[in-house]
């Protein structure tokens, strides 16, 4: 079943328009019916930077996206975070969510966003994931998932100070993170995923010598987690679990805090990583890198992560469409 994807330019002040132009010129874009949501002028500027051209139609068809025009109020400047570009992001995202509610798209793929622009435009949520959940009226468990090629990660705590991490860990939260990651892997077409769980402390606590979180919280959570169709093991030392995952021993890793997984994933492939807004009733994927203001307009933006985000959105959107059929 060919998925229907809402494709957004992201922050118009960044490399998003260029990346979208490169994606739409790639044959891989023919794997979906694409609705491009955004400012035609910004898309044309992206094509000019990329020295590529893909015409737009009035109806979505493989190889010929349709445009849902959003002129926006303008006022943004290239390579600059601003409230104006943040408002544009929110406006185009709301159009995409409305199309999803109407059943016109199965998933959303967004070019890079800029958190500073979003906050300048009035976002009060911790991050985009919580904003999406609020807009959708979704109160279930969510987590930002990061994907590099075939390796997925999730985390139990996210954008919080390190000093608060240990106090926020509970068995229930860890089991929830495992279950959410497992369901997302299965929705993306991964069969029988192998999930590793990282410890919190150096050497996974070294049998209690460097902390008891592994003994009292993490290991019991691993034992309690029984996601269907998956295997779960750990806790493993965080400084070696990604070495083993990179070697193919695991398909996914649950980490305890933000940088524990992000540093490893970005070091292994910064220009290929994808962020999936995990747990939402609607698949949402975006490149894990930022808006790259330092190279805007120079045709240097690597489309690898954008391409990967699109492919993940296609797989998850197709699975969603099949489940609803």
Q: Are residues 265 and 308 in the same domain?
A: no
How many CB atoms are located within 10 Å of the residue 72 CB?
19
Give the Cα-Cα-Cα angle 262, 267, 272 (nearest 5 degrees): 85
Instruction: Classify residue 27: in a domain, yes or no.
Output: yes
63: nearest Cα among 149, 1, 2: 2
Q: What is the pLDDT of residue 262?
A: 93
Instruction: Classify residue 256: in a domain, yes or no.
Output: yes
pLDDT tens per residue, range 140-195: 989 999 999 999 999 999 888 999 999 999 999 999 999 999 999 999 989 999 99
Instruction: Classify residue 144: in a domain, yes or no.
Output: no
Instruction: Classify residue 145: in a domain, yes or no.
Output: no
Q: Are residues 132 and 252 in the same domain?
A: no
Q: What is the pLDDT of residue 194?
A: 98
Q: Are residues 22 and 133 in the same domain?
A: yes
Write down the pTM of the prediction.
0.92
Q: What is the pLDDT of residue 283?
A: 97
Q: Are residues 46 and 133 in the same domain?
A: yes
Q: What is the pLDDT of residue 71?
A: 78
316: nearest Cα among 290, 270, 281: 281
Q: Are residues 236 and 170 in the same domain?
A: yes
Q: Are residues 73 and 13 in the same domain?
A: yes
Q: Are residues 71 and 167 in the same domain?
A: no
Percentages of the chain per state (helix, strand, coil), in multiples of 5? 45, 20, 40
Report the distance separating Cα 12 and Cα 84, nearest Å: 10
Has residue 107 got a pLDDT over 90? yes
Q: What are phi and psi of 80, to 5 degrees?
A: -140, 130
Report the distance separating Cα 246 and Cα 187, nearest Å: 22
Q: What is the CATH number of the domain that holds 115?
A: 3.40.718.10
Q: What is the pLDDT of residue 32?
A: 97
| Order of strands, sheet of 231-236, starting from the edge strand that comes earlier in the sequence | 66-69, 33-38, 4-8, 107-110, 284-287, 274-278, 143-148, 151-155, 252-255, 194-198, 231-236
Report the b/e string of 261-279 with b at 16+ CB within 10 A. bbebbbeeeeebbbbbbbb
Instruction: Classify residue 113: in a domain, yes or no.
Output: yes
Boundary of a domain, candidates 229, 247, 271: 271
How many CB atoms are located within 10 Å of the residue 247 CB?
8
Instruction: Classify residue 174: in a domain, yes or no.
Output: yes
pLDDT tens per residue, range 210-262: 999 999 999 999 999 999 999 999 999 999 999 999 999 999 999 999 999 99
Q: Are residues 115 and 221 in the same domain?
A: no
Report the distance separating Cα 143 and Cα 88, nearest Å: 25
Instruction: Classify residue 51: in a domain, yes or no.
Output: yes
pLDDT tens per residue, range 49-75: 999 999 998 899 888 999 999 977 678
Q: What percent of the chain has pLDDT over 70?
A: 100
Q: Are residues 88 and 211 in the same domain?
A: no
Domain that holds residue 58: 1-139+274-325
Q: Are residues 176 and 215 in the same domain?
A: yes
Kind of pairing between the strands at 151-155 and 143-148:
antiparallel
Boundary of a domain, candidates 231, 251, 271: 271
Q: What is the pLDDT of residue 72?
A: 75
Report the distance separating Cα 262 and Cα 38, nearest Å: 30
Report the distance separating Cα 95 and Cα 115, nearest Å: 19
Instruction: Classify residue 164: in a domain, yes or no.
Output: yes
Q: Is the dihedral of CA 173, 178, 181, 182 positive or negative?
A: negative
Q: How many domains does the chain have?
A: 2
Boundary of a domain, candidates 233, 253, 271: 271
Q: Are residues 8 and 133 in the same domain?
A: yes
Q: Are residues 130 and 36 in the same domain?
A: yes
């Amino acid at each position: 079943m060919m998925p229907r994807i809402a494709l957004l330019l992201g922050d118009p002040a960044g490399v998003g328009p260029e990346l979208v132009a490169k994606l739409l010129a790639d044959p891989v874009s023919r794997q979906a019916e694409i609705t491009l949501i955004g400012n035609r002028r910004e898309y044309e500027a992206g094509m000019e930077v990329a020295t590529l051209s893909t015409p737009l139609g009035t109806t979505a068809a493989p190889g010929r996206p349709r445009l849902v025009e959003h002129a926006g109020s303008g006022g943004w400047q290239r390579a600059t975070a601003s409230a104006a570009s943040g408002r544009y992001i929110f406006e185009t995202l709301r159009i995409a969510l409305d199309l999803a509610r109407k059943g016109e798209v199965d998933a959303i793929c967004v070019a890079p966003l800029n958190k500073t622009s979003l906050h300048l435009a009035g976002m009060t949520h911790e991050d985009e994931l919580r904003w999406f959940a609020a807009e959708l009226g979704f109160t279930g468990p969510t987590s930002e998932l990061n994907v590099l090629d075939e390796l997925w990660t999730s985390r139990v705590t996210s954008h919080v100070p390190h000093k608060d991490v240990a106090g926020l860990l509970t068995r229930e939260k860890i089991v929830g993170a495992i279950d959410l990651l497992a369901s997302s892997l299965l929705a993306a077409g991964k069969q029988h995923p192998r999930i590793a769980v990282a410890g919190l402390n150096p050497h996974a606590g070294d049998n209690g010598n460097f902390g008891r979180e592994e003994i009292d919280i993490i290991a019991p959570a691993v034992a309690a987690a029984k996601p269907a169709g998956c295997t779960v093991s750990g806790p493993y030392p965080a400084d070696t679990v990604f070495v083993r995952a990179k070697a193919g021993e695991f398909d996914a890793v649950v980490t305890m805090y933000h940088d524990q997984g992000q540093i490893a994933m970005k070091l292994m492939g910064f220009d290929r990583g994808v962020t999936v807004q995990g747990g939402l009733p609607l698949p949402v994927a975006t490149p894990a890198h930022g808006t790259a203001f330092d190279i805007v307009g120079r045709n240097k933006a690597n489309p690898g992560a954008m391409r990967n985000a699109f492919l993940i959105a296609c797989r998850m959107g197709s699975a969603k469409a099949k489940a609803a059929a």
